[in-house]
């Protein structure tokens, strides 16, 4: 029995042993980016690790902060990002991009993209919980940001984005309801992370869909070539597809993967806070696990994983626990009654290929 | 003139309130996304270094190599810099890939440069953040249409977190 998700629950569920930590001998690193005017406190991280980090080697502080750490209260999202990236990707040097571009007229997310284009040596894995409704952004902006993601992928950076916390989303145009995809989650050049819950929230059991897990089909980007087979199979086999007028079946489908997103303990402003949920929690966990895999790859003289999706889909999600139960939320109307897509065998637009089973995932991603 | 972002949503996100126009002499920082080159080669390149079946799998480019590939043309760099200098923008900084330019200028200069724009100060979000944005679309001289993708710092507000603390699951129901 447990009273919510802590690092040891994450590590048990995803089969991370005490040996599965950074070796401390490589130049491996990982980063999380904050765009929400939120800051983390070193003292919270220290307290978190004191409370929850007893059974694995870990670093007690962030290695590098890019941007300014404001004064005042810590933010719960910033605290969670750092605490769980450093628990899943334990003992690996961790950077925090803290609200780059603080000037009132700057866009922190855009400034982060500029930083990526201005630093030669960057951590291989970057996690970010940022998203906007696709329809709210100009196509000039979306296309250019997508190009920035391509530049990062060409350099071997793994960019992980939370898939969002409104399920399939919902909006109505001229009286017709549709699902509402999110960006950057819908970019074909990032790896998007959905969310799950334990089937029994007080035990370490198999995982089911967390109803808030963002997912769906882009209205801007066509289906990515690497996911052609997986998405076609889902669309042809899913027993409970929403009405076709609700989504663009030929769009880039997401998420690609998932991890637990429900019931986290976070320490923020010195207070342990239970039952915190959102795909902002699953994203640093998946990021940390990819950093552990990079650690093994680097120790074997291999390059870091880079842009993961082509390989992930080619291997049909091998090394991941398939989540096959549950549907995420969507429009609360008579037609779909609040239900979006439902998970099923293989890839689905709710949890992607599923959640990490570290030893199996390591085995499939260590070579080449 | 032309509007680079005609389809950008301009409505005020919930939770943000306008504090009125910004003083014309106040300082702004705007980011110009310059048109890149050779973009049609990027997707293949990404596929080549990301597909385990490719001979170039894992052979990533350095930032300098990416810069070499996508760097804006000399004409683009010259046209935009000339336009900014003529408007009095000083203190512009670029990045290694030279495809972004961040300049500081006064509100007055910005509103002249980006016709139609009107800068207001807003307050909002959980941390009572102050931002300066324009609720009205901006336009650029037509001569820049093939040199600038968009201008950042006018329309997109900082996001708010969607993390939630949920009520504790009903113990009896699930444990049973």
Tokens of A285: 């966990």
Q: Which of A185, A86, A58 is nearest to A132 (CA)?
A: A185
B99: nearest CB among A117, A201, A309: A117
Residue A355's beta-bridge partner residues?
A: A321
Instruction: Give the residue on A whose Cα is nearest the Cα of B158.
Output: A36
Residue B169 confidence (pLDDT) above 80: no
Band of pLDDT at residue A175, cut at 50, 70 and 90 = confident
Compute the half-sphere exposure of residue B121: CA atoms within 13 Å on the CB side of its CA.
15
What are phi and psi for residue B146, nearest 5 degrees?
A: -100, 15
CA dihedral A185, A186, A190, A196 (to 10 degrees): 50
pLDDT value of residue A106:
87
pLDDT value of residue B77:
97
Whether A107 sits inside 8 A of B42 (CB atoms) is: no
Contact status, residue A245 vs residue A176, Cβ threshold 8 Å: yes
B95: nearest CB among A118, A189, A302: A118
Burial of B114-129, coded b for 16+ CB within 10 Å and e otherwise, reads: beebbbbbbebbebeb
Residue B172 confidence (pLDDT) above 50: no
> Which tens digits make up the pLDDT trace of A208-232?
999 999 999 999 999 999 999 999 9
Whether B29 sits inside 8 A of A311 (CB atoms) is: no
> Which tens digits make up the pLDDT trace of B141-154?
999 999 999 999 99
Burial of A292-319, coded b for 16+ CB within 10 Å and e otherwise, reads: bbbbbbbeeebbbbbbbbbbbbeeebeb
**Three-state DSSP state, A223:** coil
- Chain B residues touching A151 at Cβ < 8 A: 42, 66, 70, 97
Contact status, residue A191 vs residue A158, Cβ threshold 8 Å: yes
Whether B29 sits inside 8 A of A120 (CB atoms) is: no
CA distance A132 to A148: 17
Neighbours of B73 (CB within 10 A): 14
> Which tens digits make up the pLDDT trace of B87-124?
888 789 999 999 999 999 999 999 999 999 999 999 98
pLDDT value of residue B176:
44
pLDDT value of residue B90:
77
- Chain B residues touching A189 at Cβ < 8 A: 46
A313 near B CB under 8 A: no
Peptide bond into A31 cis (omega under 30): no
CA distance A298 to A63: 19
Neighbours of B62 (CB within 10 A): 13
Instruction: Give the residue on A whose Cα is nearest the Cα of B107.
Output: A105
A107 near B CB under 8 A: yes
Residue B175 confidence (pLDDT) above 80: no
Q: Out of A280, A282, A291, A330, which one is annotated catalytic?
A: A280
% of residues, chain A, pLDDT over 70: 99
> Which tens digits make up the pLDDT trace of A292-337?
999 999 999 999 999 999 999 999 999 999 999 999 999 999 999 9
What are phi and psi for residue B14, nearest 5 degrees?
A: -60, 140
CA distance A304 to A294: 5
CA distance A189 to A185: 9
Any idea which residue has 């990021």 for tokens? A287
pLDDT value of residue A102:
64
pLDDT value of residue B120:
97
Q: What is the mean pLDDT of chain A?
A: 95
> What value, to the nearest 5°, has the Cα angle with vertex A226 and ends A221 and A231?
75
Instruction: Give the residue on A whose Cα is nearest the Cα of B65.
Output: A155
> Which tens digits make up the pLDDT trace of A274-288?
999 999 999 999 999
CA distance B169 to B176: 12
Is A104 one of the annotated active-site residues of the chain? no
pLDDT value of residue A100:
66
pLDDT value of residue B88:
84
Complex prediction ipTM: 0.95
Whether A303 sits inside 8 A of B47 (CB atoms) is: no
Mean pLDDT value across residues B2-16: 94
> Which tens digits make up the pLDDT trace of A354-363?
999 999 999 9
Chain B residues 97-116 with CB within 8 Å of chain A: 97, 99-100, 102
Residue A261 confidence (pLDDT) above 50: yes
pLDDT value of residue A330:
97
**Of residues A292 and B127, more confidently modeled:** A292
Burial of B88-105, coded b for 16+ CB within 10 Å and e otherwise, reads: ebeebebbbbbbbbbbbb
Instruction: Give the residue on B whose Cα is nearest the Cα of A3.
Output: B168
Mean pLDDT value across residues A339-355: 98
Strands B148-152 and B90-94: unpaired
CA distance A122 to A273: 32
> Which tens digits make up the pLDDT trace of A77-128?
999 999 999 999 999 999 999 876 567 888 999 999 999 999 999 999 999 9
Q: DSSP assignment of chain B, as one string?
A: -B-S-TTS--SPPTTEEEEEEPPTTSEEEEEEEEPPS-GGGHHHHHHHHH-TTSTTTT-PPPHHHHHHHHPPPHHHHHHHHHHHHHTT-EEEEE-TTS-EEEEEEEHHHHHHHSBT---EEEEETTTTEEEEE-SS--BB-GGGTTTEEEEESSSPPPP----EEPPPP-HHHHH-
Is A207 one of the annotated active-site residues of the chain? no
Beta-carbon contacts of A248 under 8 Å, excluding residues fewer than 6 positions away, are A217, A218, A219
Task: Give the distance from residue B108's alpha carbon to the nearest chain A alpha carbon, in angstroms.
Answer: 14
Chain A interface, mutation test: which of B34, B50, B72, B145, most A Cβ atoms within 10 Å?
B50
């Amino acid at each position: 029995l447990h009273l919510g998700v802590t690092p040891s629950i994450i590590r048990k569920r995803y089969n991370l042993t005490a040996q599965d930590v950074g070796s401390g001998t490589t130049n491996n690193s990982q980063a999380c980016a904050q765009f929400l005017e939120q800051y983390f406190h070193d003292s919270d991280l220290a307290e978190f690790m004191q409370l929850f980090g007893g059974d694995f080697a870990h670093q007690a502080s962030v290695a590098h902060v890019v941007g300014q750490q404001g004064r005042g209260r810590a933010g719960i999202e910033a605290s969670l990002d750092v605490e769980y990236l450093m628990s899943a990707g334990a003992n690996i040097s961790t950077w925090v991009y803290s609200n780059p571009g603080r000037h009132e007229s700057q866009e922190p997310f855009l400034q982060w993209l500029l930083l990526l284009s201005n630093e030669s040596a960057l951590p291989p894995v970057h996690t970010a919980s940022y998203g906007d409704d696709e329809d709210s952004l100009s196509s000039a902006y979306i296309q250019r940001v997508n190009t920035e993601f391509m530049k990062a992928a060409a350099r071997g950076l793994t960019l992980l984005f939370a898939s969002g916390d409104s399920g399939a989303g919902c909006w109505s145009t001229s009286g017709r309801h549709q699902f509402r995809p999110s960006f950057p989650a819908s970019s074909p050049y990032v790896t998007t992370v959905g969310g799950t819950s334990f089937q029994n929230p007080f035990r370490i059991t198999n995982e089911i869909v967390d109803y808030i897990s963002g997912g769906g089909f882009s209205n801007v980007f066509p289906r990515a070539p690497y996911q052609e087979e997986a998405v076609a199979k889902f669309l042809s086999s899913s027993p409970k597809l929403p009405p076709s007028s609700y989504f663009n079946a030929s769009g880039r489908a997401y998420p690609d993967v998932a991890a637990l997103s429900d019931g986290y303990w976070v320490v923020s402003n010195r207070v342990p806070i239970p039952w915190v949920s959102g795909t902002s929690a699953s994203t640093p966990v998946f990021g940390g696990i990819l950093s552990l895999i990079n650690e093994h790859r680097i120790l074997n003289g291999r390059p870091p994983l880079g842009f993961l999706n082509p390989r992930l889909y080619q291997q049909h999600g091998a090394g991941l626990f398939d989540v096959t139960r549950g549907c995420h939320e969507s429009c609360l109307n008579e037609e779909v009654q609040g239900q979006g897509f439902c998970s099923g065998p293989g890839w689905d637009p709710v949890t992607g290929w599923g959640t990490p089973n570290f030893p199996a995932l390591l085995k499939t991603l260590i070579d080449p | 003139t032309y509007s680079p972002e005609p389809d950008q949503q301009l409505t005020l996100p919930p939770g943000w309130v306008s504090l009125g126009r910004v003083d014309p002499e106040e300082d702004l920082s705007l980011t110009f996304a310059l048109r890149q080159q050779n973009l049609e080669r990027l997707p293949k390149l990404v596929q080549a270094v990301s597909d385990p079946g490719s001979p170039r799998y894992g052979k990533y480019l350095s930032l300098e190599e990416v810069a070499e590939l996508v760097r804006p043309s000399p004409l683009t760099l010259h046209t935009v810099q000339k336009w900014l200098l003529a408007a009095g923008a000083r203190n512009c900084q670029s990045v290694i890939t030279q495809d972004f330019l961040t300049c500081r200028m006064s509100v007055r200069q910005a509103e002249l440069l980006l016709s139609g724009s009107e800068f207001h100060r807003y307050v909002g979000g959980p941390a009572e953040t102050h931002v300066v944005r324009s609720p009205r679309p901006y336009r650029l001289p037509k001569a820049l249409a093939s040199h600038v993708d968009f201008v950042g710092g006018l329309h997109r507000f900082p996001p708010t977190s969607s993390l939630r603390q949920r009520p504790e699951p009903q113990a009896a129901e699930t444990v049973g």
